[in-house]
Amino acid sequence: MSKHVVVVLSEPVKGRESEFDDWYENTHIPEVLDTTGWTSGQRFKLTAEKGQKCPLQYLAFYEAEAESGDAVVARLDETRSKRQQSDSFDWKRAGLWVFTETGPKRDRHEN
Mean pLDDT of 23-38: 98
Q: Tell me which DSSP letter residue 89 carries.
A: B
31-71: pLDDT as tens digits: 999 999 999 999 999 999 999 999 999 999 999 999 999 99
pLDDT of residue 88: 97
| Measured torsion, CA atoms of residues 102, 105, 106, 107, in degrees rounded to the nearest 10 | 160
Residue 12 phi, psi (nearest 5): -80, 160
pLDDT of residue 73: 98
The predicted model scores a pTM of 0.91
Amino acid at 91: W
List of domains in the chain: 2-102 (3.30.70.100)
Instruction: Please state, in angstroms and rounded to a whole number, the distance separating the CA atoms of residues 21 and 65.
Output: 26
Residue 111 has pLDDT above 80, yes or no: no
Q: How many CA atoms lie within 13 A of 46 on its CB side?
A: 14
Q: Tell me which DSSP letter residue 9 carries.
A: E
Q: Are strands 40-45 and 95-100 parallel, antiparallel or unpaired?
A: unpaired
Instruction: Please state, in angstroms and rounded to a whole number, the distance separating the CA atoms of residues 72 and 6.
Output: 8
pLDDT of residue 105: 87
